[in-house]
Amino acid sequence: MMTTVFLDYGTFNSGLDVNPIRQKTEKLTIHEFTQPAEVISRAQHAEIIITNKVVLDAETLAKLPKLKLICVAATGTNNIDLAAAKQRQIEVCHAKDYAGPPIAQYVFAQLFKRFQNIEQHNANVASGKWSTSQAFCLHDQPINELAGKTFGILGYGHIGQAVAKAARAFDMKVLIAERPDSHTVREDRVSFNDMLANADVVSLHCPSTPATQGLINSARLAQMKPSSILINTARGDLIDNNALANALRTQQLSYAILDVLDQEPPPSSHPLVAGFVSGDIPNLAITGHIAWASQQAQQRILNIVAANIAGFNTGKLINKVN
């Protein structure tokens, strides 16, 4: 049982249960947010740090001699200097396999909005248009079916599989893309280029790596059908912002749905945010990195953190990344 500090609990919603973590630690101190200059003073006596997005670089780790375990309350660990942690014999573990259901739900909530035009049809009744209609039904905006459409997925881990399951439930044809840099194509997959060319919906679920940063650029967007939809719930830097903005403005791409951007939170001058807010890019939807964040998924993360700490206490660490 060790002294633990949670540096940025404010990245989670209120109303969650932290008792599973508290029960695995001798003392748990919770901070809503922690600025870079505050990390050392807040964590200098901690043996365990829990962080979602607070950066723990080599310089910071060198000033935390008591630290034995870092629990990342997320899947991505790019805010941790893993090599420096390993050198100092600091274990690092993360949370994984918690976000499949909410992200699948988000993807299809956005697609339903696009294909069903449900907001407009609700507004038609609220505005009185249906009451003055000559016909028993008020068509107004067209409704299109997901069934029969082709759904392309890049990244077939826990989340990609959950999204594919939902797509198949709506009778969509699912194409699982092989890694873009792969020279072979596995039996149950198609090449990345073939997926781009044939999919009506392209959904990104791969990590950000040197090989995937800027992956969706002008050339890749040109491979996609003009009627297709691009969805990104993975990492913002997978997409070339200016290339996507241009493709949407010129109708080279029908629509884009983004829950992540390369800067978070983004400045108001961000090329995609500015176009979305001004209405200059009307065929774009942006949300603030919330696709993962159902109450249930957030609680699963906290439970996983507690399990990681319990494993460390018993010498059986799970979800280790370094």
- Cis check: omega of the bond before 20, within 30 degrees of 0: no
Catalytic one of 31, 42, 249, 289: 289
Tokens, residue 308:
């990681």
Give dist(CA 285, CA 79) in Å, integer: 27
The secondary structure of 248-296 as a DSSP string is: HHTTSSSEEEES--SSSSPPTT-HHHHHHHHTSSTTEEE--S-TT--HH
Catalytic one of 22, 264, 270, 300: 264
Active site residue 289: yes
Active site residue 235: yes
Which DSSP state fits 80? B
Give dist(CA 157, CA 203) in Å, integer: 13
Active site residue 264: yes
User: Is beta strand 3-6 parallel, antiparallel or unpaired with respect to 27-30?
Assistant: parallel
Catalytic one of 235, 249, 270, 300: 235
Please give the backbone phi and psi of residue 188, each rounded to the nearest 5 degrees, phi first: -95, 15
As annotated, the active-site residues are: 235, 264, 289
